[in-house]
Structure 1
């Protein structure tokens, strides 16, 4: 038997003012996108903004449905739109703001498992990492240089 140790490193910023201006602006776009979320069942609202290598900014918000799991998370809404509209462009940076309407969220909230898998697909497709910044409604912001830090044993096309 052999033991494998997996470690990850994230950077944590105390607030938006510590971020590079370009990322701070992206987080503000994610916040605006969050206002467009449709979450009457969970009351959990998420907004995402993605910067592409052509400098386009794609935003998305979660969209729920009474027939779970027919809804779609904000991250996948934005990723799939970017992939459909700009299939040749790379996704460089993703900003995520998430929070509940019933409980204040002040710690960073990372993408769910399904969204991590979707992000992994595009990192593999474009053969380059996507920086991911994530936060709650307020407070600290976490940064991952790549989805690989959040999903270290990625399942991709090489396994098929």
Structure 2
């Protein structure tokens, strides 16, 4: 018997960074600063992320391209892997992601790729608490989610691979 199911997601949309809570606004503005270390000479598409940890620390990431395209890394994974290796026991509270290019105007929030979402899901699972994500469009709206499940509802999570 085929069972039809329906999936719904939940998110908030803000028209301006000024509508956000003080902490979310600061994190979005910090994500803009993070773009300054982007190495994107091939695409010209700079991405920055600022991640708020439970300890109060903010960790930054930016996209790092390579002439051998698959060898680059997205801003989100740069930040998350830095946290995993430097602050492994510090919970991730929120992360803000933004992007910019000189080639065109970005009018909608730029969302994370599937690989980054999967890594976010892994860190959320590791810490047993949701990670709030803000997709910040500097010339448009901001999307805010509470947890990765709304972004990647069918994340790979094979529990038999664990010890």
1:33 matched to which residue of 2?
34
When normalised by structure 1's length, the TM-score is 0.96
**Shift in Å at residue 136 of structure 1?**
2.7
Q: How far apart are the structure 1 equivalents of 2:119 and 2:139?
A: 26
Decide which structure has the larger Cα Rg and report it: 2
**Shift in Å at residue 40 of structure 1?**
1.0
* 1:46-65 superposed matches below 5 A: 46-65=47-66
Q: Secondary structure at the match of 1:148?
A: coil
Where in structure 1 are there 5+ consecutive unaligned residues? none
1:73 matched to which residue of 2?
74
Q: How many residues matched?
A: 160
Q: Secondary structure at the match of 2:149?
A: helix
When normalised by structure 2's length, the TM-score is 0.94
Q: How far apart are the structure 2 equivalents of 1:159 and 1:7?
A: 28
1:127 matched to which residue of 2?
128
1:115 correspondence with 2:121: no
Q: Say whether the 8 Å CA contact 1:45–1:101 is kept in structure 2.
A: no
2:18 matched to which residue of 1?
17
1:43 correspondence with 2:6: no
Q: 1:57 to 1:108 in 2, by over 3 A?
A: same
1:98 matched to which residue of 2?
99
Where in structure 2 are there 5+ consecutive unaligned residues? none
Deviation digits for residues 77-123 of structure 1 (CA, Å, limit 9, x no counterpart): 00110111110110000000013321110211111111001100100
Q: How far apart are the structure 2 equivalents of 1:72 and 1:117?
A: 14
Q: Say whether the 8 Å CA contact 2:51–2:95 is kept in structure 1.
A: yes
Q: Say whether the 8 Å CA contact 1:45–1:98 is kept in structure 2.
A: yes
Q: Say whether the 8 Å CA contact 1:106–1:135 is kept in structure 2.
A: no
Runs of 4+ in structure 1 deviating by more than 4 angstroms, as ranges, are none
Q: How far apart are the structure 1 equivalents of 2:140 and 2:12?
A: 14
Q: How far apart are the structure 2 equivalents of 1:117 and 1:151?
A: 7
